[in-house]
Chains A and B, each alone.
Chain A
Amino acid sequence: MNAARGSLLGIEHLEAAEIMKILKLARRMNPDRPRPLLKGRRVVLLFYEASTRTRSSFEIAAKALGAHTVLIQASGSSIEKGESLLDTGYTLRAVGADAIVIRHPNAGAPQVMAQHLDVPVINAGDGLHEHPSQALLDAYTILRNKKSFKGLQVCIVGDIFHSRVARSACHLLSKFGVKVILCGPPELVPDIATTIAPGVRVTRHIEDALRGTDVVMLLRVQKERLAGMKIDLPEYIARYQMTPARLKTAKKDSIVMHPGPIIRGLELTSEVADGAQSRILAEVQNGVPTRMAILARAMGRMR
């Protein structure tokens, strides 16, 4: 893989030490005290898919570092007229992009672009593949609540198959020896998921997933995705919805996370979403310093 230095295409091929470096850098970033590390640099936000939180988070992060941002969305641009991914990349490079943050519905699209451009490419989510900035901000959030990754157990409940967040999280947590338990029905959590990284196991029972768990990560379940499956929505809710009662099975000091958007009454109840253990809004907040670190790293401003 010959991507430009500073690219962030996924967690899978990052070393644990590199991840720690990014997380440490993120701790020194504060969006309320802007640092003009990237003054005059141009960061292009290339979004082939709609996104509110990831896009605005990257945008605020770039601005906090003094960079200019340009937002390009698939609709209303040359992309809609049939321009290819690579031609779009070449064009953005030609107009002076210093880094490209890309969100794309196809797995591997950021990698294809990175192989052909000499500017760093940052994956803001590609198909079902990876969402590395989300995994990093989740790791950041975990480390703000737990002393270290040592001995931790994390369960991820929901639609693992369709989740790039889950794939990135599995890679990241596994690199630090965290025990990862994936929980859900076979259609959403196939057994093959255990092969993604060492230390990942699958269970169908929510109690089994929660017992001894330090971090409960919930994922959105889209109604459409359940169409044609053996399990229907009421049954999913009955078996997997996070309720205050169920949460008691997890460790007392466990935290609840969710990459959003959450659907109250489906994967979790309002009591859990708004409860004392919830870190769902903290994740959103932590997204900015984490992405500041990612952008600073991308443009060689690691210190």
Chain B
Amino acid sequence: MKSHDKTSLLIHGGHVIDPAARIDAPMDILLKDGRVAEVAAPRKIKGADSRFDARGLIVAPGFIDLHVHLREPGQQHKETIATGTAAAATGGFTSVCTMPNTAPVVDSVEWVTWLRQSERGAVVSVFPIAAATRASKGAVLTDFAALQTAGAVAVTDDGKPILDDRVMREALILGGELNFPVVQHAEDTRMTADCSMHAGARSFRLGLRGMTAAAEASIVERDVQLAMQIPNARLHVAHVSTADALKALRRGKRNKSRITFEVTPHHFTLSDEDMRDYDSNYKMNPPLRSPADREAILAALADGTVDAIATDHAPHAHHEKEMEFERAAFGIAGLETALALAITRLHVGKRVPMGRIVELFTSGPVRCFDLRGRGSLVRGSFADVTIFDPKRKWTFDASKSLSKSKNTPFDGWQLTGKVMATIVGGKIVYTA
């Protein structure tokens, strides 16, 4: 914590990976007045108020998480903006997009404004995603233009789908006119009542009702179809988890429609076969899918189809998780393990180049939502930087997490790749 009041910071000796600027080389970076002032060959930049020694480390644009549940307003017993963004900083995220399925639902300009106020105590940048329909009831669209002007970066009814064909079409038309992404939680809830995991051999054996892959894929197929018909529509599909949904998305992308999507670390790391019996730390929505689905996601991450890795960080209090599996809340924490899981599973496990992994956390997310000035380190960008050690092995201890909630299946996991420093607006907000 050396440089909080100083105005310029030199990050030297590191290896810069900035996919948007096509940089993958040893470089020094000077941050000044909250912006990137200079990117140059090693030892070329002179004179800085303070220095960060990044030898042996990768220096990347600040990571962006498109899908985080910060639980404010109204659910502070699960998480607050302060605790959630502290966990985000630990995980290397300098920007997080927060979901509107709170109490009340963020469906108004007032709540979007409230989320962005400095009193919330955010450690990293928070970008609200507003509800797509009033109270996320799926019937009447919210005022997209006003929400966008107030600072929302997208709309969604996440936690629930926009199910009605007509409403989804209207949302994509209006979003298209405003250049505003509509984020779909793709689940045909008419097919998933009382379900608590993926439908397969495991759910049959455990006596748990299963969500079929078709319940996700059918909504994605419909939405891709709509997006291909509506000029300028911007469809973003959240937490894609099935091979069939990927097929539909590939078709939409080939058609040059403005379709983007994210996948989560848990869906590319685990399958339903990895679940410990009735351990609700393996319960999330969409659920852990079959090993074949997971392999399809890994392939799509490697071949460039996936736009972004997003955590779907979904903290819940102990008493909301430790109970009958079918009654426990859906969701797991994810901010602090995302990069390490990506490096461990994708880079070490599947030889995905480090540049591609950085892309999935930086320029990829920026392709999905308009986060101008972020996702790259070109001169003039926001001074958001994530510095990590790609080789460092460490063990995740959930009890030490900065999130209010500890609901994760990755407690005690040995991982490769550790965030060493997170810099937001030129200020170091986290060091390992």
Interface string of B182-220 (1 = CB under 8 A from A): 000000000000000000110011111100000000000
* A107→B328 CA distance, assembly (Å): 12
Report if A108-B206 is in contact (Cβ < 8 Å); known contacts: A1-B277, A85-B323, A127-B326.
yes
CB nearest neighbor in B for A192? B204
* A237 interface hit (Cβ, 8 Å): no
* A161→B319 CA distance, assembly (Å): 30
* A238→B432 CA distance, assembly (Å): 70
Residues of A within 8 A of B207 (CB): 107-108, 126-130, 164, 167
* A193→B204 CA distance, assembly (Å): 7
Pick the contact of A109: B201, B204, B319, B324 (CB < 8 A).
Answer: B324
* A66→B201 CA distance, assembly (Å): 42
* A84 interface hit (Cβ, 8 Å): yes
Determine whether the beta carbon of A106 is less than 8 Å from that of B200: no
Pick the contact of B201: A1, A128, A167, A192 (CB < 8 A).
Answer: A192
Residues of B within 8 A of A104 (CB): 324
Determine whether the beta carbon of B208 is less than 8 Å from that of A195: no
Main secondary structure on A side of the interface with B: mixed
Pick the contact of B326: A84, A106, A190 (CB < 8 A).
Answer: A106
For chain B, residues 292 to 329, give those with C-beta under 8 angstroms from any C-beta of chain A: 319, 322-327
Instruction: Write the nearest CB–CB distance from A90 to chain B, whole angstroms.
Output: 12
Main secondary structure on B side of the interface with A: loop
Determine whether the beta carbon of A196 is less than 8 Å from that of B278: no
Interface string of A90-119 (1 = CB under 8 A from B): 000000000000001011110110000000
Determine whether the beta carbon of A106 is less than 8 Å from that of B325: yes
Among A107, A126, A167, A196, chain B packs the most CB atoms within 10 A around the CB of A107
Instruction: Write the nearest CB–CB distance from A119 to chain B, whole angstroms.
Output: 18
Determine whether the beta carbon of B201 is less than 8 Å from that of A106: no
Residues of B within 8 A of A128 (CB): 207-209
Residues of A within 8 A of B206 (CB): 107-108, 129
* A245→B306 CA distance, assembly (Å): 60
Residues of A within 8 A of B326 (CB): 106-108, 127
Determine whether the beta carbon of A112 is less than 8 Å from that of B278: yes
Pick the contact of B205: A111, A112, A126, A195 (CB < 8 A).
Answer: A195
* A12 interface hit (Cβ, 8 Å): yes
Instruction: Write the nearest CB–CB distance from A129 to chain B, whole angstroms.
Output: 3
Determine whether the beta carbon of A106 is less than 8 Å from that of B205: no
For chain A, residues 128 to 144, give those with C-beta under 8 angstroms from any C-beta of chain B: 128-130
Residues of B within 8 A of A161 (CB): 204
* A86 interface hit (Cβ, 8 Å): yes
Residues of A within 8 A of B201 (CB): 192, 195-196
Q: How many residues of A contact B (CB 8 A)?
A: 25
Determine whether the beta carbon of A190 is less than 8 Å from that of B204: yes
Determine whether the beta carbon of A107 is less than 8 Å from that of B322: no
CB nearest neighbor in A for B200? A192
Instruction: Write the nearest CB–CB distance from A238 to chain B, whole angstroms.
Output: 27
Residues of B within 8 A of A196 (CB): 201, 204-205
* A193→B278 CA distance, assembly (Å): 19
Residues of A within 8 A of B205 (CB): 12, 167, 195-196
Interface string of B94-115 (1 = CB under 8 A from A): 0000000000000000000000
* A276→B277 CA distance, assembly (Å): 42
Determine whether the beta carbon of B278 is less than 8 Å from that of A111: yes
Determine whether the beta carbon of B204 is less than 8 Å from that of A106: no
* A129→B323 CA distance, assembly (Å): 16
Determine whether the beta carbon of B323 is less than 8 Å from that of A84: yes
CB nearest neighbor in A for B201? A195
Instruction: Write the nearest CB–CB distance from A225 to chain B, whole angstroms.
Output: 13
Determine whether the beta carbon of B325 is less than 8 Å from that of A112: yes
Instruction: Write the nearest CB–CB distance from A112 to chain B, whole angstroms.
Output: 6
Residues of B within 8 A of A192 (CB): 200-201, 204
Residues of B within 8 A of A107 (CB): 206-208, 278, 325-326
* A161→B204 CA distance, assembly (Å): 8
Instruction: Write the nearest CB–CB distance from A57 to chain B, whole angstroms.
Output: 21
CB nearest neighbor in B for A195? B201
CB nearest neighbor in A for B325? A108
Determine whether the beta carbon of A112 is less than 8 Å from that of B323: yes
CB nearest neighbor in B for A129? B207
CB nearest neighbor in B for A84? B323
* A12→B200 CA distance, assembly (Å): 17
* A85→B207 CA distance, assembly (Å): 19
A-B CB contact pairs (8 Å), 22 listed: A1-B277, A12-B205, A86-B322, A106-B324, A107-B207, A107-B278, A108-B278, A108-B324, A111-B277, A111-B278, A112-B278, A112-B322, A112-B324, A127-B326, A128-B207, A161-B204, A167-B207, A192-B204, A193-B204, A195-B201, A195-B204, A196-B204
**Which residues in A have some Cβ–Cβ distance to B below 8 Å?**
1, 12, 84-86, 104, 106-109, 111-112, 126-130, 161, 164, 167, 190, 192-193, 195-196
Additional pairs, 8, CB under 8 Å, beyond known A108-B325, A128-B207, A196-B204: A108-B208, A108-B278, A112-B278, A127-B207, A128-B209, A129-B207, A190-B204, A192-B200
Of all A-B residue pairs in the complex, the 6 with the closest CB atoms, nearest first, are: A129-B207, A108-B278, A128-B207, A107-B207, A106-B324, A195-B201
